[in-house]
Amino acid sequence: MSTTRREFVKNAAMTGLGLGLLPDTFAKNPFNIISPSDQLKVGLIGCKGMGYSNLQRHLKIPGVECIALCDIDQSVLNERATQVEKLQGKKPALFGDYRKLLENKDIDYVIVGTPDHWHCLNMVGALEAGKHVYVEKPVANTIQEATIMKNAAKKYGKIVQVGQWQRSGPHYEDAIKVVKSGELGKIRLVKVWAYQGWMKPVPVLPDTPVPEGVDYDMWLGPATKRPFNANRFHFNFRWYWDYAGGLMTDWGVHEIDIALYAMGAKAPISVVASGGKFAYPDDASETPDTLQTVYQYDGFNMLWEHATGIDGGNYGRTEGIAFIGNNGTLVVNRGGWEVIPERYRENNEVKTRIEARKFDKKPEDDYLLFHCQNFVNAIRNNAPDTLKCGIETGSIAAINAQMGNISYKLGRKVFWDEKNGNFINDKDANKLINANYKNGWKLPVL
């Protein structure tokens, strides 16, 4: 059952829900705490999937109102308009072209929920129009776009949050503190993984006419011109190189982000990936259903692996991050974290150097809501340094994930030059850094 914003505010006042998340004044007077200067108006670009999930959380924050929606699919746009009106009591303006939405000077910030190949154009356009931005992960579909987006945020001085919401999870923060404390001893390997049993083969489908109400040319944007195929539209775009990077970027950025943050690392020395379409070789997807990628950093390695169609991940978990140290291993995922001590024998007695313990996430905590609230607070306080996952932070995981895909595409190891932001003596790898916009679309020039 959906909850309106009015009901959320009322319930929070009655039960105390979220009083640790929202300002103290909310507890004192939840109906009149937002001054006119703190009222924020949001526009959503890309209303399917995570775009709308993000907007729903934003509309639970007092003082936030959605005044505009944009999507290239009229049926999606109409459905979301009805839902938003129910949530907030007012219907937003509707647009089929994001550039028209950005002309609305009343919009304070936008949520970018489009496919990955659109993120750069959407975000930079919003910044140029004077808007703050909440952009979905991964930051972009190429390393070049991610770099442009970082530079644009600096140039325009706006608040930009990336939707890697695990950064706003208290139990992740606690786990990271344990990793940084040194309790685990020297960490020589970090494993990050996503085993997705729900993902079945993508059936081969014929091309069809463009569905009524869909602006397909706008959906393609800077991607290669192709006939319409339902497999390449909406959710399944993730499994095609033109628009995204498969599980390596879709799930990988969440897990890689936590891993590198805890380890204090940003760029690898080398990357080598191996995998393929081993489970479903004849399905319609392009990206690998099975992949292992080894990243070498200063002092440790990181191993990313993913598999579709099976749930048998490391440590009995379908997804997670494992920090493997001399004294023990800490495993963290969306359900909580656990310390698994290393065992040794002394005088025929089994001992451990650290204590085993386990922490479960609180079921009532909504980390996506926490992440959205963090973004809104940063806007209201003009405090970009308080962001849990600003554009600089978000780009680290995205760029590392893109390196994994580049190694996979080339079928060999690549070596990264952090200072110059390219691969060492590798023309083929460096070509894959760049976006190749088509159909008259141009990369933003700053």
**Are 176 and 320 members of one domain?**
yes
Instruction: State in Å, rounded, how far the first CA of the chain is from the last one.
Output: 45
Please report the pLDDT score of residue 346 as a whole number: 81
Residue 256, classed as helix, strand or coil, is: helix
**Are 206 and 143 members of one domain?**
no
**Are 24 and 162 members of one domain?**
yes
**Are 179 and 31 members of one domain?**
no
Residue 441 located in a structural domain = no
Nearest Cα neighbor of 44 from 137, 105, 108 is: 108
Residue 254, classed as helix, strand or coil, is: helix
The structure's pTM equals 0.92
For residue range 16-50, list pLDDT tens digits in order: 333 334 443 343 333 346 777 789 999 999 999 99
For residue range 227-283, list pLDDT tens digits in order: 999 999 999 999 999 999 999 999 999 999 999 999 999 999 999 999 999 999 999
Please report the pLDDT score of residue 218 as a whole number: 98
Residue 18 located in a structural domain = yes
Number of domains the chain contains: 2
Q: What is the CATH number of the domain that holds 234?
A: 3.30.360.10
**Are 380 and 411 members of one domain?**
no
Please report the pLDDT score of residue 127 as a whole number: 98
- The DSSP bridge pattern shows strands 414-417 and 422-423 to be antiparallel
**Are 196 and 134 members of one domain?**
no
Question: How many whole angstroms separate alpha carbon 76 and alpha carbon 440?
Answer: 26
**Are 120 and 139 members of one domain?**
yes
**Are 199 and 244 members of one domain?**
yes
**Are 112 and 177 members of one domain?**
no
Give DSSP secondary structure letters for 397-423. HHHHHHHHHHHHHHTS-EEEETTTTEE
**Are 385 and 265 members of one domain?**
no
Q: What is the CATH number of the domain that holds 43?
A: 3.40.50.720
**Structural domain boundaries enclosing 257:** 170-362+394-431
**Are 199 and 318 members of one domain?**
yes
Give DSSP secondary structure letters for 153-204. HHHHT--EEES-GGGG-HHHHHHHHHHHHTTT-SEEEEEEEEEETT------
Residue 215 located in a structural domain = yes
Please report the pLDDT score of residue 347 as a whole number: 82
Alpha-carbon radius of gyration of the chain: 22
For residue range 149-197, list pLDDT tens digits in order: 999 999 999 999 999 999 999 999 999 999 999 999 999 999 999 999 9
Residue 18, classed as helix, strand or coil, is: coil
**Are 231 and 144 members of one domain?**
no
Please report the pLDDT score of residue 21 as a whole number: 44
- Please calculate the CA angle 366-372-375 and round it to the nearest 5 degrees: 145
Question: How many whole angstroms separate alpha carbon 287 and alpha carbon 275?
Answer: 10
Phi, psi of 130 (to 5 degrees): 85, 20
